[in-house]
């Protein structure tokens, strides 16, 4: 199957992201952990579930990417006419990230700094373009799920790194980098909920983030649930803790950072969707 053709301006940046992902994943034998001061006890996130066989779930043409340049351009010498050169000439990479996804992109309440795997990805891209990821070359701003695609279309960000699933529909609106992380959708319920999977949740209130791919996946798995939409997955998790909803459904990689930390909730059932993450870029 032939790779999708993308505009030359963005092709090189997709390649840089692919290289960054390889380097980051090579250094992560397990999911990343982020230390906290000993005086502030923080329970460890729940372990990610066992790998799922994703063969055939996402068509090859949706995830196709271009082969890497050989050799890769050194920092500060991006090819003329490329999207990376446009960013280089502007002097700064402007990236949209979530601020509430533990493990991927969150603001540490103790230090006020951003941390997580998506943060590491955009830092790697900035280093590839400029040879530096300091504040003079990288501007990281918060974006909500529902605003990821509009913000790129309006030119507010150069890239968005926000646990964003690559889909055929989204690729009609924006460009994506190489796949850099693969998750699957599951369900988080309170510890006393007897359900063993989404199929057992007829009539229950299941919360998902606005602008995510979660709602259609939930209804595809069980159309008899009641859908509740919130601005973010963390809002859903708060509602679950307050008893305002019966479950939260999103990617297992996101759920790993939520309620199971405190023991009030648990992840149930088998994965029911393929969620390959890519960095979003303007077409």
The domains of the chain, with CATH numbers, are: 8-180 (3.40.190.10), 184-275 (3.40.190.10)
**79 token code pair:** 């090819």
Q: Give tens-digit pLDDT for 74-127.
A: 999 999 998 899 999 999 999 999 999 989 999 988 999 999 999 999 999 999
For the ranges 47-56, 134-143, 262-271, which has the lowest average pLDDT?
A: 47-56
d(CA 186, CA 4): 30
Strands (E), the chain: 93-97, 100-101, 105-107, 114-115, 138-142, 159-161, 175-176, 181-190, 205-209, 226-230, 247-251, 265-268, 274-277, 280-281
Nearest one of 167, 152, 171, 125 to 6, comparing CA atoms: 171
pLDDT at 86: 95
Question: pLDDT tens digit string along 7-42?
Answer: 344 455 554 555 454 444 333 333 333 333 343 344
Predicted confidence at residue 6, as pLDDT, reads: 37
Model confidence over 169-185: pLDDT tens digits? 999 999 999 899 999 99
How distant, in Å, are the alpha carbons of 51, 92, 106, 234, 243 from that of 134?
A: 35, 10, 18, 28, 42
Residue 244 has pLDDT above 90, yes or no: yes
- Tell me, what's the pLDDT at 25? 37
Residue 5 has pLDDT above 70, yes or no: no
Q: What is the pLDDT of residue 224?
A: 98
pLDDT: which is higher, 29 or 248: 248
* Mean pLDDT to the nearest integer, 142-154: 96
How confident is the model over 229-254, as a mean pLDDT?
A: 95
Distance of CA 72 to CAs 55, 75, 78, 84, 281, Å? 30, 9, 9, 12, 20
Confidence of residue 43 (pLDDT cuts 50, 70, 90): very low
| Mean pLDDT computed over every residue of the chain | 82
8 A C-beta contact, residue 105 and residue 118: yes
More confident residue, 70 or 67: 70
pTM: 0.78
Identify the pLDDT of residue 67. Answer: 67
**What is residue 262's predicted lDDT score, i.e. its pLDDT?**
59
Considering 27-31, 67-71, 193-197, the range whose residues carry the highest mean pLDDT is 193-197
Residue 16, pLDDT score: 55
């Amino acid at each position: 199957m032939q790779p999708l053709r993308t505009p030359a301006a963005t092709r090189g940046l997709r390649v840089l992201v692919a290289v960054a992902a390889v380097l980051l994943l090579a250094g992560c034998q397990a999911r990343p952990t982020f230390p906290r001061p000993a005086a502030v006890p923080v329970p460890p996130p729940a372990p990610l579930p066992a790998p799922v066989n994703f063969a055939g779930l996402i068509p090859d043409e949706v995830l196709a990417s271009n082969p890497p340049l050989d050799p890769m351009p050194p920092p500060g010498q991006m090819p003329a006419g490329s999207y990376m050169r446009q960013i280089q000439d502007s002097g700064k990479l402007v990236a949209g990230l979530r601020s509430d996804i533990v493990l991927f992109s969150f603001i540490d309440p103790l230090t006020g700094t951003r941390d997580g795997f998506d943060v590491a990805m955009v830092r790697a891209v900035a280093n590839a373009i400029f040879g530096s990821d300091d504040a003079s070359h990288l501007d990281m701003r918060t974006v909500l799920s529902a605003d990821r695609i509009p913000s790129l279309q309006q030119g507010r960000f150069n890239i968005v790194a926000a646990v964003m699933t690559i889909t055929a529909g989204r690729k009609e609106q924006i460009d994506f980098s190489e796949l850099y992380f693969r998750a699957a959708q599951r369900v988080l319920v309170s510890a006393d909920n007897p359900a063993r999977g989404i199929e057992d949740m007829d009539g229950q209130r299941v919360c998902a983030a606005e602008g995510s791919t979660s709602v259609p996946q939930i209804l595809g798995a069980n159309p008899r649930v009641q859908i509740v939409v919130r601005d973010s997955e963390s809002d859903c998790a708060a509602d679950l803790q307050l008893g305002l909803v019966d479950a939260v459904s999103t990617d297992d990689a996101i759920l790993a950072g939520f309620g199971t930390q405190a023991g009030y909730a648990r992840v149930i059932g088998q994965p029911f969707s393929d969620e390959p993450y890519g960095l979003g870029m303007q077409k």
